[in-house]
Each structure stands twice: as structure tokens, then as C-alpha cells.
Structure 1
Amino acid sequence: MRNVATNNPFVNEPFTDYSLEENKKAMEAAIAKTKSELGRHYQLHIGAEKVTTEAQIISVNPGNTNEIVGYVSKADRSLAEKAMQTALETFETWKKMPARERADYLFKAAALMRARKHEFSALMIVEAGKNYAEADADTAEAIDFLEFYGREMIRLSRINETQPLVSITGEDNHLTYIPLGVGVIIPPWNFPLAICVGMTSAAVVSGNTVLLKPASTTPVIAHKFVSLLEEAGLPPGVINFIPGSGAEVGDYLTTHPKTRFISFTGSKEVGLRINKLAAETAPGQIWIKRVIAEMGGKDGIVVDETANLDAAAAAIVASAFGFQGQKCSACSRAYIVESVYDQVVGKIEVLTRALAVGLPEQNYPAGPVIDKASYDKVLEYIEIGKSEGKLLAGGAAAEGNGYYIQPTVFIDVDNKTRLMQEEIFGPVLAIGRAKDWREAIELYNDTEFGLTGSFFSTDDDRIAEALETMHCGNLYVNRKCTGALVGVHPFGGFNMSGTDSKAGGYDYLLLFTQAKAASRKK
């Protein structure tokens, strides 16, 4: 276990090297254990009570649809209300717990998760369709969030020592950050552990209690996290686990007068709906609800003629097709200057065609998309793309008893097409040509989104201008546009990509607190 003393610098959890035989065998054993537990039933957690419901969410392995990962009890409005009342009651005691004690629960959970790292990763391989490296990175990020936010809460609790207010004669003045209340946590399925852990742990370590409504395609991994915190000793009622329908449970809690905040990660459409519903004041509501939203992306990589073309092509393919392009940070657009366009396109084609598609548990580089709805949507966009650009690679479903699609690349795509403007969230890359690097940046900026981007160049003046003019929340130079690390790359975007809440950054916990200034006359 890492030393979690607050005066020690934060260190990111290392990734596992699966080229080492012992690590590979450890993962294979964890997958076998996960497979032995398929089809189990999972209950709601409302305070100390475990609730079984007749209505259930059935979690299916997207890589082998014959396998049911688990049957998860499904909350309705009455159970959501019960969970709300439980969270309200628990908040009255939890908010009074010292920050260090709240943080210790996160540190304990991080240590437990680290000890069972492969088990959590294996479950994501089976339930979410991630390969070894993608699942391992997800688990590592979850551990990072637990430790980073625990340290951050301790730092905020000592803000008067580390950032004292201006002193005046005759008064003692202090600033403290106090919790908001009860929040609704709605995490996504694509990072079913890391983002779920980050959103939830940030809220509870800040002194809030929460209602956790996980994504319906990956509820079992969320349940495993909630059970881990229970094992770490977290008091009942701090996290209430209530999977359920967005239309029924999600909307009900978003509009509830006692909901103080909603933390959401997902699509633009759902995020905007949550923001709209939360803006309406319900009878009995005495605050403006806070919405923390990380939404979609239409991320791009720009390559100029001075760039290392091999590195640029490799970064584009890795960013476009890592976890089948199912990342809000994924590169779904690339803009390459005319003079090197054909060279880079040729390199991208070779790398894309080398991506074998198959079962995640066998660690294929490309696996399934998450479910039938996503599968149908991506294939529909591929058909649209065939009329909007020239098909370079892929372009069809792939073999396998799951939701497999070939990594697909279109070239010579105009920037006003649907392929270039709409979020697809699958293994589809559109490439456009630009007359020069400035036009490429203009094309990159021509979007309603603004999450991640990359600029490939060896010209320092161009890099300086790109850093100023490419409009996104996370901009990378000469590297891929995916793979943000906690504490290293605070993550969140502009425009329709969300509220620019910087997950994994030093100001993130402020979103779950409110500042109270107190002054006492001497």
C-alpha cells in the first residue's frame, strides 16, 4: 500500500505490464473467477437495507451475448424516494464527520481495490467489453481518484492554514468549504469503474450523501464498487445504490426538491435534458440546483507537414479505436495538411487494418461496442459515411457472437457532413484534408463540442499558436488525445462537451461544496 500521508506527493497508480507472464496469468485467473460468478443477483442498497425487486436490469456480456453477467434489482419511484429520505437523514451526521475521517474511507477503499485490481478489471472485460490494457487503466484511474480526492479534501479542510485570508486588526476571519447536501450521481457505462468512482467519491468525501444510479449496461461493476466501500466501513446511507430507468428514476430525482446537485457524465442530449429539468424550481425547493456535467465530444487531431508522421498516424489510430472509439475523448476526426495527406492516410490504413477484432477476454485489440442500440447506431453512421466520404478501411459488422464492428476509416470527408459533426461513439474515424495548418485548426474548431484535441508539429511557433487557438478543454501536443491521468491532465470540456468541470483537478471538489466565510470580532 502506498503511504497516504497528506504531506507526500500524489503518485499515479502504475499500469500492469501484460507482456509479463505472471501478470497475464493473474488476469486469466481473475477472468475465470468472474466467469464462475455469472448470473448472480444483485440488490439495491438503501441505507443498511438490501432490497430485492421483481423488476430487474439484465446485464449482458457484449462480447458474448449468450452470457448474462448478472441480474440487478431495479428501483422505481417509491424506492427512489425511500433512498432520498435515507440520504437526507444520513447527511445530518455524515456532514459533521471530520474531513480526515471521510478521506480515510477512500484510502481504505483504494488499498482494497489495489489488492484486487485484476478482479475489477476482469469484470469490466466481461461486462463492458474492454481488453486487458483498457480495463487495467480504468481500474488504475479509479484508485487514483480515491487517493487524489481524499488528499484534496484534507487540503481543503486546512485552507485557512495553507491559504490564509488577508489579516485585519480586530477580527478573526476564516473560510471553510462545507458540503451541499444530497446529490444524484449518474455515471456512464464507458468508464464504468473509474468515472463512477471519481464522481461518487468526490461527492461523499466532500461531506455529501448520494443516490448512485449506474448505467443500465454496466450495473454489476458499480455494485462491486459500492460493496467495496461497505467493506471499507463506510456508514450505511452515505451511498445509496439505486439502479433504474432514466425516464422514471433519473427524472424523478433530478426534479426532486431535496436534490441539491446532479453529477452526470454521458451524452449531450441527456446532459441538456438534466440541465433543463434541474433549472425548474420544484415546490419546497430552497436552492438553485447545481449541475456538474461532462457530456459528449467530437474530438480531433491536426497534423502539419513538419510533424513526425509515424507518431501522428499511430496516435490517430490509438485515439480513434481504443475501446472501440467509445470514449468522449476519442479521435473521431483528423485534419491533415495537403502536402502530407496521402502519406499519413496510408500509414493510418495500415495500422487500422492490423487491428484484429475478437473477444475481450482473449485480449484482442478491438472488441465489441456496448449493446445492440450502439451497434445499430454505429452501423447506420457507417452507411451514412459511405455517401459522405471514401471508405478506406472497415465499413461493416465483424464476426463474433457479440456487437462487433470493424474499425472503420473514411477519407476526403467534408467538414459539414454528419460524419464530421455528430458524435458517433464507436469505431469510426473521418479524415479531412486542409490546405495548411491554420486551415486545419479552423476545421478542427468548427464543431459544437470542445473536449479534447491534439496538434502534431515540430514548429514551436505553430505549436504556440495552436495552444492558444484550438478551443477545447484538454489539448495535447504530439501525443494522442485520449488517456488523461488524474492530477496530471484535469479533464473536462467546453461548449456542448459540458460544464468544464475538471475531474482529477485541484478545483474539482469545490463543485461539491460551498464556501462559508466567518468573521469574529476580537
Structure 2
Amino acid sequence: MTGSVRVPTPSNEPVRDYAPGSAEVVRLRAEIDRVAGQVRELPHVINGERFFAGQQEAVVSPHEHARVLGHITPAGDKQVRAAIDASLAARRDWSMTPWWERAAIFLRAADLVTGKYRDELLATTMLGQSKTYHQAEIDAACELADFFRYNAYSAAAIYDQQPASDPGQWNIMDHRGLEGFVLAITPFNFTAIAGNLPSTPALMGNTVVWKPSEKSALSSDVVMRVFEEAGLPPGVINLVHGDGQSIASQALASEHLAGVSFTGSTAVFRNLWKTTAQHLDTYRAYPRLVGETGGKNAIIAHPSADPEALLVALVRGAFEYQGQKCSAASRAYIPRSVWRRLEDRLADTVANLHIGDVTEHETFVGAVIDETSCTRLEQAFTEAKSLDSHRLLAGGSVRRETGWFVDPTVFVTDDPTAFTMSQEFFGPLLTVHVYDDADWSSILTLADTTSPYALTCSVFATERTAISEALTVLRDTAGMTYVNDKPTGALMGKQSFGGGRASGTNDKTGSPLALQRWVSGRYIKENMNPDLDWNYPYMGTAGH
């Protein structure tokens, strides 16, 4: 190939409405019925081959937990070792593949996501992860495709960065992939993240061992087939199902570990970091650690806030996808003057949110991902109800009979440092602290210091001085700050997601910053006119 290669300028994939009775719904409902009517075997994919090993574990639908959708077989040491070996064997050829050919594969994957595989990705995400039509669409179709397209575009910009050269020299930056393999550990809550975490390092010339959540195994299997059909060579991304701790322990013990790309809990990421540190003396190079690890995201309202906009942000921000977003609103600080106009409407709205089967159009809240999550939230409700400082405004119950359903729940507390204001629960639980209007400035400081996380936050105000003050005081409080908007819904190419403190390494998923982490630079200097005399002018005899 000759000439300069330019990646097409990306744009965000349009979000489909899935209005009742529409042609797109008819097609999707048929796919949902097809997926629900079978039990899929979900294999490991290692060096392009499919394997089953060990005892089967069922993959079920959270909102209908008696329905088995598929089976996985947890990987043993043999499968993990094979995945590592396959990654290492594929590394040289893949890293030497021209970047535009690697980019072409993921651009092709984007079109497969939005075309041939769109309905299957949505159906498996809805059934396997209990997402509504809208939540599945913005995740498994739109954001996943956006990741592939915007990452390819950003990669082109990185490879285009070359150093200046003086006359008689040519300086080149060789943007190499890392030496070794990358371990990608992905969560259940976003099919897009499951596809992005292994594909980002792969795009930049790395090979990957991918451990998806067993709770999203159904949609992850489709993502893997998308990669393969798009032309990804065998061994570049190797998928292994199973226990995260066991797989990570073996991968982190390998001298060839080049990096870890992780989204999940803070506790797990810290353990990965500590384990990596224990092996530093054995690694061939220092591994890159990239993590996004949750949040305790606040909505902070000023007395000038618009109650209508605030109500929408609280409901959508806290309860879309059952609050199982790292960015979900889980604490709110509302001035007394606004709360008087908002309290009854918030209580009534939350109490009447439809909970149930996500394939029903009226459903706003599906099921939480599993029984463990259901129990954790039930325990939090019980503890909060026992405190004199807390008043239950809405919800507070769970139901396990047919699915793992947790009522959207709102507590009001007069203790702004309570456990409900500082701990992450990863579910539909929102706690409101009502403050005196005059305490706005001190509330900003309180919001900044109460929680160890720093992922997202929202500021609601119409007075510009209040917005300016909030952005100043809360500068380190979040990696993504929203003004007069809910703290969820970052859009690729417009807002790049990530946070600091206990929320992760803030590498801004989907941006050039995130891609840069998977590159190891090599400068090459070529001298076109090398010196032929080792003497320097200063070595001449003075006065002669």
C-alpha cells in the first residue's frame, strides 16, 4: 500500500427508539424469542479454536432466573496457560501488522455490530444482563460500535505523531505494542466495555487474554464471533471463562505479563495491583495497569436548581439499569427550598416505576444481576431502616421468586457521612441529604470529602457563580462532571469516561489517552551524513 492512510471520521451511531409495534421491535422480538428458546454452549476461544473443560455452570436470565440461556465451563490451569501461550505466539506477526490493517478489522467489526449482529447483541444483552430496549441499544449496539470507530480514528492520530528531523537526519517514532500479553478482565454491566477492553490493546498491536464476566458470557460470545468474522487472526484475543481470581493469579504470575486492563470493583483492582507488585522481580518489563473501579456519584443541587430537570436526573441517574452503572447517582445533596417542591414528586415517581421483564415495553427497571447482589442490597436496606438518621421515602424491598428484583429505593438522611452516603452498593439505592440553603459552599466540600471515589458527579444550578464555584471546589472530585445533567451517559467522541482516587487510573476510555497506554515507543535516528573525524573544533590550538 502506498500513500497516506486516513481513517474515516467517525460519528456516533444513531440510537434506535424501538417504539411498540415498529419494524425494528418486531425483528428484535423474533431474535429474543430465538435466543430464549435455546441453551447455548459458550466455549473458551483459544488460538481460534473452541474448547470446553470441567464442570458446566449455567448462565441464567436475571429477571427469570429459572431460564437457562447457556453453559460455560470454568477454565483450569491448562486452558489459561494455553491462552497465554497463544497470545505470545501471535504477538510478533500481529505487532508487525500495519496499523491500518489492524484498524480495518475493528472498523469492520463496528459495521457487523450495527448490522448483521445488532439484534443478536441486543437480545443476548437484554436476556443475559437484564437490560431494557433502550439500555441495551445504547450499550451493545451504539457504544460498542462507537468504541471501535473512535478508537481506530484516535489510533491513526497517534501513529501520525512523528518527531522533527534536522538536515542530514531522519528521526522516526516506532509505536510498538507492549512486550508480552495483556490480561483484560471485563464486567457484566456493559457489553460495550466487554468488547472495548480487549480490543483497545489489540488495536495497538498487543495480544490479549480476555476474561469476561460469567454473567455476560452470552453477549461476550457474540462479541467474540464479531471479532473473528471481522478478520481478527487466531491468538490475538483469546477468551477464557471462569473464576477471575484463579485466572488472574496464573496470568499475573507469568514473566510475560505486559499489562492489565480491568473494569470492576476497587477491592479486586487493588488486589490485582498488589499481586502484580509481588511479581515485579520476575517480569521482563513493568506491566501497565489500567483500571476503572466504580464510584459513589453525587448529584449536588444549588438553591437555583430547576426542580424539573433535577427530578429527571435523579430518576434516570439512579435507577436506569437498576443503578448497576459505575457512574450511577447514589447520593444527592438538595437544598431545603428545592426539596419542598421535589420530595412528594420524587417519592411518587420512584414508587411507580415499572419493575419486571425487560422485554416488556413498560419496564423501566429490570432485575439486578444475581442473588448475591440482591442480598447485598437487602442488607443495606435493613441497616438503613434501623438507623434513626434515615427515613425511607420509597422502595426498600426485594423479591426473589421469579427474578432478582430490587425496588428502586430512596432514603433521606440527616447524617451526610452515613454509610449510605459513602459506600458503593451498585444497585437501585439513592440517599438524599437535605441541607439548609445557606450551607451551599460547605456542602461542596462535604461532597468532595465524604467518599473515597472520584468518578462522576452532577451539579444543578442556574446561577453562573454557583456553577463556577462548584467546578472549582469539585475539581478533583470526579473525572467527569456534568452540569444540569445526570451523571451517566458519556458519549464516545464527546466525553471520555474515567475517574481518579478509588475510581481508577482515569485513562479516559475510548480516547487517545487510553490507547497510548498500550504503546511502547522506540525512537530511531538515522544519520544520512555521519561524521568522519572524531575531533571537535574546540580541540584546535589557540592562536595558531
The aligned counterpart of 2:534 is none
The aligned counterpart of 2:448 is 445
The aligned counterpart of 2:158 is 156
Matches within 5 A, 1:71-470: 71-115=71-115, 116-139=117-140, 140-160=142-162, 165-180=163-178, 181-191=180-190, 193-281=191-279, 284-363=282-361, 364-388=363-387, 389-398=390-399, 401-435=402-436, 436-446=439-449, 447-470=451-474
2:103 and 2:257 map into 1 onto residues whose CA distance is: 23
1:361 aligned counterpart, secondary structure: coil
Alpha-carbon contact 2:406-2:428 (below 8 Å) kept: yes
Q: Are residue 477 (structure 1) and residue 483 (structure 2) matched? A: yes
1:235 aligned counterpart, secondary structure: coil
Query: Quick one: which amino acid aligns to residue 507 of structure 1?
Result: L
2:150 and 2:55 map into 1 onto residues whose CA distance is: 37
Query: Quick one: which amino acid aligns to residue 435 of structure 2?
Result: A
Aligned pair partner of 1:508 in 497, 510, 514: 514
Alpha-carbon contact 2:53-2:76 (below 8 Å) kept: no
Alpha-carbon contact 2:460-2:484 (below 8 Å) kept: yes
2:28 aligned counterpart, secondary structure: helix
The aligned counterpart of 2:505 is 499
CA, structure 1 residues 65+399, in 2 after alignment: closer, same or farther (shift >3 Å)?
A: closer
Percent identity, aligned pairs only, is: 30
Query: Quick one: which amino acid aligns to residue 338 of structure 2?
Result: V
The aligned counterpart of 1:40 is 40
CA, structure 1 residues 57+159, in 2 after alignment: closer, same or farther (shift >3 Å)?
A: farther
2:218 and 2:399 map into 1 onto residues whose CA distance is: 27
1:310 and 1:8 map into 2 onto residues whose CA distance is: 40
Describe the superposition over 1:25-50 as per-residue Cα deviations: whole angstroms up to 9, x where unpaired: 2221221121123x221211110322
Query: Quick one: which amino acid aligns to residue 441 of structure 2?
Result: R
Describe the superposition over 1:3-41 as per-residue Cα deviations: whole angstroms up to 9, x where unpaired: xx946432011111122622222221221121123x221
1:360 aligned counterpart, secondary structure: coil
Query: Quick one: which amino acid aligns to residue 174 of structure 2?
Result: T
Q: Which runs of 5+ in 2 are unaligned?
A: 529-544
2:398 and 2:414 map into 1 onto residues whose CA distance is: 21
Alpha-carbon contact 2:42-2:217 (below 8 Å) kept: no
Q: Are residue 25 (structure 1) and residue 31 (structure 2) matched? A: no
Alpha-carbon contact 1:149-1:201 (below 8 Å) kept: no
1:479 aligned counterpart, secondary structure: coil
Alpha-carbon contact 2:46-2:235 (below 8 Å) kept: yes
* 122-131 vs 440-449, which moves further: 440-449
1:95 aligned counterpart, secondary structure: helix
Query: Quick one: which amino acid aligns to residue 379 of structure 2?
Result: E
Deviation of 1:455 after TM superposition, in Å, equals 0.3
Query: Quick one: which amino acid aligns to residue 90 of structure 2?
Result: T
Deviation of 1:225 after TM superposition, in Å, equals 0.6
Query: Quick one: which amino acid aligns to residue 310 of structure 1?
Result: E
1:56 and 1:13 map into 2 onto residues whose CA distance is: 37
2:203 and 2:257 map into 1 onto residues whose CA distance is: 18
Deviation of 1:491 after TM superposition, in Å, equals 0.5
The aligned counterpart of 1:59 is 59
TM-score (norm. length: structure 2):
0.91
* 170-179 vs 367-376, which moves further: 170-179
1:384 and 1:23 map into 2 onto residues whose CA distance is: 44
1:332 aligned counterpart, secondary structure: strand
- Larger of the two Rg values belongs to structure: 2
Describe the superposition over 1:456-499 as per-residue Cα deviations: whole angstroms up to 9, x where unpaired: 00111211221222121000000110011111111000100000
* 207-216 vs 11-20, which moves further: 11-20
Alpha-carbon contact 2:296-2:453 (below 8 Å) kept: yes
Query: Quick one: which amino acid aligns to residue 256 of structure 1?
Result: S
Deviation of 1:175 after TM superposition, in Å, equals 2.1
1:88 and 1:445 map into 2 onto residues whose CA distance is: 44
The aligned counterpart of 1:518 is 524
TM-score (norm. length: structure 1):
0.95
Alpha-carbon contact 2:416-2:433 (below 8 Å) kept: yes
Number of positions where the alignment pairs a residue of Structure 1 with one of Structure 2: 512
1:354 and 1:378 map into 2 onto residues whose CA distance is: 20
CA, structure 1 residues 311+426, in 2 after alignment: closer, same or farther (shift >3 Å)?
A: same
Describe the superposition over 1:151-185 as per-residue Cα deviations: whole angstroms up to 9, x where unpaired: 2222222222xxxx344344222223210131000
Alpha-carbon contact 1:413-1:430 (below 8 Å) kept: no
Query: Quick one: which amino acid aligns to residue 156 of structure 1?
Result: I
Q: Aligned-pair RMSD on alpha carbons?
A: 1.5
Describe the superposition over 1:214-254 as per-residue Cα deviations: whole angstroms up to 9, x where unpaired: 11211121111111111122110001111111221122112
Alpha-carbon contact 1:336-1:431 (below 8 Å) kept: yes
2:359 and 2:176 map into 1 onto residues whose CA distance is: 44
Alpha-carbon contact 1:159-1:176 (below 8 Å) kept: no
2:161 and 2:30 map into 1 onto residues whose CA distance is: 46
Query: Quick one: which amino acid aligns to residue 443 of structure 2?
Result: A
Query: Quick one: which amino acid aligns to residue 189 of structure 1?
Result: F
Query: Quick one: which amino acid aligns to residue 157 of structure 1?
Result: Y
Query: Quick one: which amino acid aligns to residue 437 of structure 1?
Result: W
1:65 aligned counterpart, secondary structure: strand
Describe the superposition over 1:263-315 as per-residue Cα deviations: whole angstroms up to 9, x where unpaired: 00000110110111112225642211111000010001011111111111110
1:248 aligned counterpart, secondary structure: helix
CA, structure 1 residues 415+6, in 2 after alignment: closer, same or farther (shift >3 Å)?
A: farther
Describe the superposition over 1:172-210 as per-residue Cα deviations: whole angstroms up to 9, x where unpaired: 22223210131000000011x100111111111100010
2:165 and 2:231 map into 1 onto residues whose CA distance is: 41
1:240 and 1:216 map into 2 onto residues whose CA distance is: 15
